[in-house]
Structure formats: C-alpha cells, structure tokens
Amino acid sequence: MSYILVLYYSRYGATAELARQVARGVEDVPGIEARLRTVPPVSSVCEAIEDSIPDTGAPYVELDDLRNCAGLALGSPTRFGNMAAPLKYFLDGTSPLWMAGALIGRPAGVFTSTASLHGGQETTLLSMMLPLLHQGMLLVGLPYSETELLRTRSGGTPYGPSHLAGPESNLPLTEEERRLCLALGKRLARAALALSRMSSD
C-alpha cells in the first residue's frame, strides 16, 4: 500500500506528538497509510555513532523511505526560528533523490513546535518548505475552512500545524492544534491519492 512518510525530529516529545496526530489523519483516509520515521541527533563535537534502531519511538528514516513515499509530512521543533540540525542534516543527504528528480510532483506539508508563541513557528515552517521546493514537491498547507485556524489561542497556521509547548516544553496539544494535525494528514493523503490517479490516467 502507498504511504505518507511522517518524518520528524523531536527532543522533548512535542513534535513527536504532532507527528502521531498527523499520522492519525493520514490513516483516516482509506487506501493509504502513514509511515512514522525520525532522524538521529547530530553532534558538533564528533561524529555520533548511533544504533540503527532507537531505544524508543519511531525507527530512523532511510533514504528509500523518502524515495518511495507517496507524500511527506515533515516536522521539526523550532531552533532559533529555523528547523533543527538533525533534520537538516538528513535533508542535506538527499541529493541523490534531487538528481534523479525522485520527489517531483509529490505532496508535502510541514509542522513544528515552539516554546514561545511568537518564537518562530511561521519562519520554521517556511524554512522547512525551501528544500522541499528544490525537490519539486507540491506544498500542502491548511485552508481557513479548517476553522480552528480562526479560533486557536496557541498553535496552528495556514503554513502547517504547530504547537505552543511552553517554556518547560510540557503543554499538551490543544484541541485546535490536534485537529489541525489531523487535517494536514488527511489533506496529504487525499492529495497523494488524487495525484497518483492522475499520473496513472
């Protein structure tokens, strides 16, 4: 069965929870499934040697998970208004896919978590879109028909779902944040199915 790759990095768990909700949204759509994957941390001091399977949580992503996905949901915590280095490190290793044009025409969406409300949700989401545009992916955001966008007092943007985790990184997802994750998952799943029908016509 075709799948949406839900790929994220999370240090304290907030982005991991967003990823699980996006995956639930994907799984709500018949005919496609979600594949949850993460990336190992990187070290600026020396090359970290990681087990190939993490102790907990989603398995580490392989290039083939990305090569063969029908669509991508990419999630990162904010790091100074930008995506986190472990995710960027993985993306910087995807030039074989770029050279082959492997991801051209596939749908992609992004999600993030921040400590503070105005600490860079939108900039992080936009920064994550840049490499996906270079790969030729079709970006999927959230329309205002998802009315949680108008009601939310915490996360949730038209550029993608987001979460306000607070300074201790321990706030649970609000109902609006959770619903917007589900909405992104569904939109990606439906877009991927529609695009694959169009390409087989």
Q: Which residues are at the interface with ligand FMN (CB under 6 A)?
A: 10-16, 77-81, 113-116, 119-120, 165, 169
CB of 125 to ligand FMN, least distance (A): 13
Q: Which is nearer to ligand FMN, 12 or 100 (CB)?
A: 12
Give me the DSSP letters along 170-194. -PPPPHHHHHHHHHHHHHHHHHHHH
Nearest partner of 121 among 151, 88, 86, 81, judged by Cα: 81
CB of 105 to ligand FMN, least distance (A): 30
| CB-closest chain residue to ligand FMN | 119
Decide: 4 and 65 in contact? Cβ < 8 Å.
no
Q: How far is Cα 95 from Cα 74, in angstroms, rounded to an integer? A: 17
Q: How far is Cα 2 from Cα 34, in angstroms, rounded to an integer? A: 9
CB of 150 to ligand FMN, least distance (A): 22
Copy the structure tokens of residue 33: 């499934």
Q: Which is nearer to ligand FMN, 72 or 192 (CB)?
A: 72
Q: How far is Cα 48 from Cα 134, in angstroms, rounded to an integer? A: 28
CB of 57 to ligand FMN, least distance (A): 11
Q: Which is nearer to ligand FMN, 107 or 109 (CB)?
A: 109
CB of 133 to ligand FMN, least distance (A): 22
Helix spans in the chain (H): 14-27, 63-67, 85-92, 95-100, 121-134, 148-151, 175-200
Q: Which is nearer to ligand FMN, 10 or 21 (CB)?
A: 10
The residues that bridge with 77 in the sheet, in sequence order, are 113
Q: Which is nearer to ligand FMN, 15 or 135 (CB)?
A: 15
Q: How far is Cα 75 from Cα 6, in angstroms, rounded to an integer? A: 8
CB of 91 to ligand FMN, least distance (A): 17
Q: Which is nearer to ligand FMN, 79 or 106 (CB)?
A: 79
